[in-house]
Structure 1
């Protein structure tokens, strides 16, 4: 009897330990799952709430090492003043909708280029194995055209000169991406052709292209052509104009750029012709 009781006691103790260890394992698993859920929630919230930065050169947004070198040069560019209104065009060089938007903005640039700056963000799928570091919807010629436009913008003497280059390319739409056409347009627009060629054929152009594609992804814009003003969506042209509560005529963009300008340089005289809307949010000029 004593031996039987002893065996029963040992069995009971073993079951108690087993139950205790099982309970400990369950609690530890539950704690691990809880921590994982909290971490997933935190990182998801951080990604969703990550702000879209306003009016900074794109390389400052992502910490690209090569692009940071470009920023150092960009700061000395007299046409790139932070007080100017930033117009961002999310486009593709061989997209008819982009051509339509750029035509509208030719009048805008002529009228208010002294108080605005332009940034091109090209919509493309980054791919380190692709010829130009990304896959473009309309093929490699479009990637070449994207790079040429970025280099022309980077090395422009002023914004109207760049726009002359851009309209020259668009006037020969089927040849966009051709080196001969780009060089001809650069020369005709008054660009520094040596600096333009060095950029478009070497790493500078590819770095600018990579950065512009990252900007488009960061802004979650995938439709060419989309217009932002001072970091905020303003209008879309995709077969037709939409999401343009302030209108999409040249005068509508001129009005909003005049209203958004807060710099020290006097506004162009044309601004006096436009009364801000409630969308513009400023009637102090």
Structure 2
């Protein structure tokens, strides 16, 4: 299921004007997934009314969100498939009831000495990819970084896609700041932190992708996440189910227009 496209189609459909008038051009530098992130962005992208309508469909109960944490490595084929086919599409549809944490490290090893303090299962390029993604996450946070990482992981070449994906999804962030992080002490610090998080897993990680739900790993969670993370998150959420989970069509208030 292409859940992410539904979000985009919602906004695309709202740009049509009645009586055959032409479509307005959105004057903003933000991708669709960020249009309703703040009132300022919504105004800049001329979708404030559409965001109000979208907000009307969001759950209001103060119930804890479902936390999904992915321990992965940037060039692992199975990790890439899960991130692009399960995790990102589910988050795009259910980000109101779920939180995502990404820990790019996987089966890497931290060395006590040497010119390169880390070795990775798929070689030095993977260590480089892990660090790029860690630096982007640290700099702009998950909400803005996730589309960049999705773009990278769904590309034919993860590393070659890094810079254009950043320019596409976070145009305000300069590529030089990413390379400075990767080559400097901050990048190594972030990798060390991810190493500690990965080593602290209980039970210990035996493979990647490794998925925890609300901080817990079970074989059942893993199997269900791999087959249909969307259904798992909907079932795990304790509050009122959003329309995306139930398939219900909610009548929207057209007076907003």
TM-score, normalized by length of structure 1?
0.54
* Alpha carbons 1:255, 1:271 under 8 Å: kept: yes
The equivalent position to 1:102 in structure 2, one of 83, 87, 91, is 83
Give distance in 2, aligned partners of 1:162 and 1:235.
28
SS in 1 for 2:208: coil
SS in 2 for 1:86: strand
Give distance in 1, aligned partners of 2:178 and 2:236.
29
Q: In the alignment, what sits opposite 1:116?
A: 99
**Distance change in 2, residues 1:214/1:140 (3 Å):** same
Give distance in 2, aligned partners of 1:267 and 1:131.
51
Residue by residue over 1:200-225, the C-alpha shift from the partner in whole angstroms, topping out at 9 and shown as x without a partner, is 23211211111112211221213111
* Alpha carbons 2:69, 2:213 under 8 Å: kept: yes
State the Cα distance separating 1:231 from its structure 2 match: 0.9
Q: Say which one has the larger Rg.
A: 1
The gaps in structure 1 that reach 5 residues or longer are 1-77, 237-241, 275-285
The gaps in structure 2 that reach 5 residues or longer are 1-37, 39-63, 249-257
Q: In the alignment, what sits opposite 1:86?
A: 67
Q: In the alignment, what sits opposite 1:74?
A: none
State the Cα distance separating 1:112 from its structure 2 match: 1.8
The equivalent position to 1:251 in structure 2, one of 230, 234, 242, is 230
Q: CA RMSD in A?
A: 3.1
**Structure 1 segment 1-285 matched on structure 2, within 5 A:** 84-103=65-84, 104-114=86-96, 115-123=98-106, 124-156=108-140, 159=143, 161-173=144-156, 175-178=157-160, 181-190=161-170, 192-193=173-174, 195-219=177-201, 220-234=204-218, 243-245=222-224, 248-256=227-235, 258-259=237-238, 268-273=242-247
* Alpha carbons 2:73, 2:208 under 8 Å: kept: yes
State the Cα distance separating 1:157 from its structure 2 match: 5.5
| Higher RCO structure (Cα 8 Å, ≥6 apart) | 2
**Distance change in 2, residues 1:130/1:215 (3 Å):** farther
SS in 1 for 2:70: strand
Give distance in 1, aligned partners of 2:205 and 2:246.
33
SS in 2 for 1:89: strand
